[in-house]
Amino acid sequence: MKLGTKFIHAGAEPDPSTGAIMTPIFQTSTYVQSAPGVNKGFEYARSQNPTRKALEEALAIIENGKYGLAFSSGVAATDAVIKLLEPGDEIIAGNDMYGGTYRLFSKVFEKFGLKFHYVDMTDAANVRSFVNKNTKLIWAETPTNPLINITDIAAMAAIAKEHKLLLCVDNTFASPYLQNPLDLGADIVMHSSTKYLGGHSDVIQGALIMNDTGLREKLYFIQKSCGAVPGPMDCFLVLRGIKTLHVRMQRHCENGEKIAHYLRNHSKVGKVYWCGFEDHAGYNIAKRQMRGFGGMISFTLKDENEHAARKLMSSTKLFSLAESLGGVESLINHPASMTHASIPREERIKNGLTDTLIRLSVGIEDAEDLIEDLEKALNI
Ligand SMILES: Cc1ncc(COP(=O)(O)O)c(C=O)c1O
């Protein structure tokens, strides 16, 4: 099946009781049993729910995996992966990633005896040098949030295989339309489904997809034991979002390309971060492992002062100033004070995330209108 057909039909079976083409929202907490322990495969909705089941099947199909698990947020999905580990285990993660992932690792899990190494993952040799006998997991986000760095997933998978480590890839920025990490050797794919999978800025949700049955059992055990499951209405929204993922992503990519080039040619703009530029350090890897370059762009102004950056972010009209990304509408964001505020300033600056960086989630409006909006704001 080609991508578009797959996104529309993944996990979708007409409801057996009515023929409804859309999976019903099974808004129930429990299921009646005909005798103790005799049930129709559903006992209690923290453990199983038919709407969630349909979504989890769809998630597996669209990431070319065997199993999908849905969580109440992206960070809840990340949390479940880290709970596979034991005190004393070490994790190699990127030095540029979503601030909430960094916060979860450094503020929640470090105190339970886990050790995280935050390294430059654009160079596989660098990652290799941090592997030791305690290492259990490589956590890779690619493209990264917000600096759009690219990690070579196949190279990470080779290191993971050689040292018997797990490789989990946060595929939120690319979405399964642009990249499938399991095909490149990753063990687990993680999504903030809040973003491109949902696609309409109306739901918070996360996902994990994997091939290994033992790994699925462990993660399912964590899902039901810790209880960070999404409600059926939210599962319905993500199922619906997935059906248009290919159409939306095509437009995100087209608009992203136009806006990246517009910004790069603008006299007031400094550096533009977008992995579709041929001179981007990760361009060749991105070209190999992705089907397009996406709609996430970061940039700085030539006038490197925070006041100018803040003025621009408060002046756009179509680009709404807000956290999050991946919805149909365009958003503008100040990582230093918003999405990445939980990373200590020195740490951020050392890794290239400056106070003047501006991040765009380019939506699927008409590109000309988006460019006009940016042009007006750049000239205020
Ligand atoms: C790359 C990435 N991973 C994970 C998350 C966390 O997802 P959620 O906000 O759904 O918990 C985000 C949220 O912005 C993100 O951008």
- The model's pLDDT over 171-201, given as tens digits with 9 standing for 90+, comes to 999 999 999 999 999 999 999 999 999 999 9
Whether residue 79 has its Cβ less than 6 Å from ligand 1: no
CB distance 145 to ligand 1 below 6 Å: yes
Calpha distance 140→120 (Å, rounded): 10
Q: Is the CB of 141 under 6 A from ligand 1?
A: yes
DSSP assignment of 120-175, as one string? -TTSHHHHHTT--TTEEEEEEESS-TTT-----HHHHHHHHHHTT-EEEEE-TTTH
CA distance 303 to 309: 8
pLDDT in tens, 210-267: 999 999 999 999 999 999 999 999 999 999 999 999 999 999 999 999 999 999 999 9
Per-residue pLDDT tens digits for 268-311: 999 999 999 999 999 999 999 999 999 999 999 999 899 999 99
Predicted pLDDT of residue 138: 98
Does ligand 1 have an atom closer than 6 angstroms to the CB of 96? no
Q: Is 98 in the pocket of ligand 1 (CB under 6 A)?
A: yes
Tokens 């030095």 belong to residue: 95
Which of 101, 108, 169, 189 best tests ligand 1's pocket when mutated (most atoms within 8 Å of CB)?
101
**pLDDT of 313 strictly over 90:** yes
* Four-residue CA torsion sign, 35, 39, 44, 46: positive
Residue nearest to atom 11 of ligand 1 (CA): 74
Handedness of CA 258, 331, 146, 68 (dihedral sign): negative
Q: What share of the chain is helix, strand, coil (3-state, %, to 5)?
A: 40, 15, 45
Confidence of residue 11 (pLDDT cuts 50, 70, 90): confident
Q: Are strands 206-210 and 67-71 parallel, antiparallel or unpaired?
A: antiparallel
Q: Which atom of ligand 1 is nearest to the CA of 205?
A: 10
Å from CA of 150 to ligand 1 middle: 17
Counting from 1 in the atom list of ligand 1, the atom nearest the Cα of 141 is 1
In the predicted structure, residue 74 carries a pLDDT above the cut 90: yes
* Integer Cα distance of 361 and 142 in angstroms: 16
Active site members: 46, 98, 170, 195
| pTM (predicted TM-score) | 0.98
The radius of gyration of the chain from alpha carbons, rounded to an integer in Å, stands at 21
Average pLDDT, the chain: 97
